[in-house]
Amino acid sequence: MWKYDFATRQSNSCVIFTLFLYFRCLIFCFCSVDTGGVDLVP
């Protein structure tokens, strides 16, 4: 049972991390389009 809970927790954190990266990419793309991509280019 403990192994199952651990696997579920790992899976959930992986999904949350993926969603975080996805939304961060969306925000970055939106901001770069909004500013013409000039300000965010290093």
pLDDT at residue 9 is higher than 70: yes
Q: Is residue 39 part of a domain?
A: no
- 28 and 39 in contact (C-beta within 8 Å)? no
Q: Residue 25: what residue type?
A: C
Domain membership of residue 42 (yes or no) is no
pLDDT confidence of residue 38: 56
Containing structural domain, residue 25: 1-32
Residue 7 confidence class, pLDDT cut points 50, 70, 90: confident
**Phi and psi of 41, rounded to 5°?**
-80, 125
- Total domains in the chain come to 1
pTM for the predicted model, two decimal places: 0.46
Residue 20 pLDDT more than 60?
yes
Indicate whether 37 belongs to any domain.
no
Residue indicated by tokens 């579920």: 8
Tell me what the mean pLDDT of segment 3-32 comes to. 80
Q: Which is more confident, 28 or 42?
A: 28
> 18 in a domain, yes or no?
yes
What does the alpha-carbon distance between residue 29 and residue 42 come to, in Å, rounded to a whole number? 14
